[in-house]
Structure formats: structure tokens, C-alpha cells
A and B are shown apart, each in its own frame.
Chain A
């Protein structure tokens, strides 16, 4: 994988041939990342929007030397995908700003939040009907008491709908460990809910 490191070094040294090779190699990944971020954020986009964001990304990499951040890395695909998505988020923020000119709003807790820093999540749909405020508070206490790994696995499984195998790959754990964590968390939550008098679930 020294090839990538070499390519990055040559791009930083402003070697045009290396840059052309870089664009040819990673263009598709950047394109997919921008499109996926737009779709995931329910942003209505055109081909021109994607091209505009890609232009900005390539400027960051070539003219603003952003590649120095990954000078020592053997693989840069994940980093490239993340910076592309963040650029897409910035682009959406600018569009929202132009459209609304209102950048802050007050959320449920009364806290002022920046609308432009807030992206809609694809998983989040209608408000729950099963939850009442008391149950919500109980679940909050139970989930806060979980270990970091249990909490993360629970989120990936229940919120993002990931299978045990996918979670194992994301967190670099064995499938058995993930299954154990999910089973243990389920039992903990169930026992705590029973203790609090909730039995109908």
C-alpha cells in the first residue's frame, strides 16, 4: 500500500501526472460519497449540485493541501469518503442558509440550536407512540447505565438496523461478542423494566 502514500506525496509536490492518477482512482468514491450523503439527508439534489461539491473537494485536496492530513496513511478511502460527506453537509448548510436566512431554532428542551449544523437523519421518521414520558425516563436511565460498547452496539442494531455481522465488521469485534453484547443488553433492559413494573412488552 506504499503506492497510495507515494501518490499522496507526489500530489503534495504538485506533480500533475500524479494528480490525474489520483482523480482517476478516487473520483468514483468521492462521487458516491457525496450522492449518498445527499440522499441520506433527504436533500433534493441535481447532478450539478454533486459536481459543485466535487469541485470544492478537489480544490481542498489540490490547492488547499488537505492531503497533508493523510500523508502517513496507507489507506485513504475512509478519510476521503468522510471529507466528501462533510463537504456535502457544508454545501447543504449553505443552501439551507440561502433559502431561509434563519440559522437557529429552539428545540424541545428550550436549547438554541444551529439549524445549519443539523442534518435530518434518514432513520428518523414518525414520533413513537409506545413511549410515554415516564417510560422514556426509565429507558434513559437504563441505557445511560450501559457500558460504552453495549450502548454503541445497541444504537447500531436498534437505531441503524445493522445485523450482528455488520456490527462486528464496523467495531472490529467477533460476531459472538456482538451477539453476546446485544443479548446481555436486552436482558438488562428487560429486567430493569420488569423491576419498574412494566410487563407488557
Chain B
């Protein structure tokens, strides 16, 4: 049935035309930036629901902005996602730098490691590694979230 709906919509949208009712640059930008009142949002969504031209402009703009934002946040995201692992490794390294507190740092490293394993991202990584080692298929919800 999904294919039917898809084909119907593709057929409807085979010509994407700008009309005089299309949203202005500012209206569409305000919708994307969530700067509108409820009534204005509803009015814009009423137009968007039937206009494939504005839909196309909306999703392309959103993709461009996401790509643009992703580039500048890339390293920040990586560090944030792996913060427990990074802290655990840092603590492990410190245990060798300060031999006097070797056990304390090691314990902290172990606890932070556990935190990483039980946090969402860590568990997902482990599940993927184990499933791949066993030759099983990785469920799509894991791969989809990791793509983000």
C-alpha cells in the first residue's frame, strides 16, 4: 500500500509549478525558523499541504541548513557523543601519569567505561559489534540513528 500512496503522490507532483499563491521567501523562512504564531503556521501548512513547489523548496532549504550546521558542529558532536568513553580513556591515562593514585584513577576509568557501555550510544555500538561478529543483520533503527 505504501507503494500505491507513493506512486499516487509522484504522479500528482510530476510537474512542480510556482503559482501566485505560493509562499513568500520570508513566510517560508519564518516557518523553517519556527518564528510564527499558531494561526500563521496553520495558514502556511494549509498551502504547503497542496503545493509541491513550496514543499520542494522547504525540504531543500532544510537539508541545506542541516548540512551547513553539521559541518560546523562535526567535531563538537563527535566529542559530545563519546564523552564517557573519552573521559574513561583520560582517567585510564592519568592513572599511569600519577602512579600514586593509580587505583583511584583506574576505578574512575572503570566506572566511566560502564557509563559509556550503558548509555544509549555505547549500547548501540556494542550491539552492532556483537551482531556483526555473529554474522547477524543489524536492525535498521540502529543504523538509522547512527547516520544522524
| B133 located at the interface, meaning its Cβ lies under 8 Å from any Cβ of chain A in the complex | no
Chain B interface residue count, CB cutoff 8 Å, equals: 48
In the assembled complex, which residues on chain A have CB atoms less than 8 Å from the CB atom of B1? 186, 189-190, 193, 201
For this complex, into which size category does the number of interface residues on chain A fall?
A: 35 or more
In the assembled complex, which residues on chain B have CB atoms less than 8 Å from the CB atom of A186? 1-2
In the assembled complex, which residues on chain A have CB atoms less than 8 Å from the CB atom of B3? 130, 201
| B137 located at the interface, meaning its Cβ lies under 8 Å from any Cβ of chain A in the complex | no
In the assembled complex, which residues on chain B have CB atoms less than 8 Å from the CB atom of A50? none
| B77 located at the interface, meaning its Cβ lies under 8 Å from any Cβ of chain A in the complex | no
| Separation of A148 and B44 alpha carbons in the complex (Å) | 10
Residues of B1-50 whose CB lies within 8 A of A: 1-11, 13-18, 25-26, 28-29, 32-35, 42, 45-46, 48-50
Q: Flag if A81 contacts B4 (CB, 8 Å).
A: no
| A43 located at the interface, meaning its Cβ lies under 8 Å from any Cβ of chain B in the complex | no
Q: Flag if A83 contacts B25 (CB, 8 Å).
A: yes
| Separation of A190 and B1 alpha carbons in the complex (Å) | 8
Q: Flag if B56 contacts A40 (CB, 8 Å).
A: yes
Interfacial residues, chain A to chain B (CB-CB below 8 A): 28-29, 32-33, 36-37, 40, 69-70, 73, 75-79, 81-83, 85-86, 89, 107, 113-114, 117-121, 123-125, 127-131, 135-136, 139-140, 143, 148-149, 151-152, 154-156, 158-160, 162-163, 165-166, 169-172, 186, 189-190, 193, 201
Interfacial residues, chain B to chain A (CB-CB below 8 A): 1-11, 13-18, 25-26, 28-29, 32-35, 42, 45-46, 48-50, 52-53, 55-65, 67-68, 144, 148
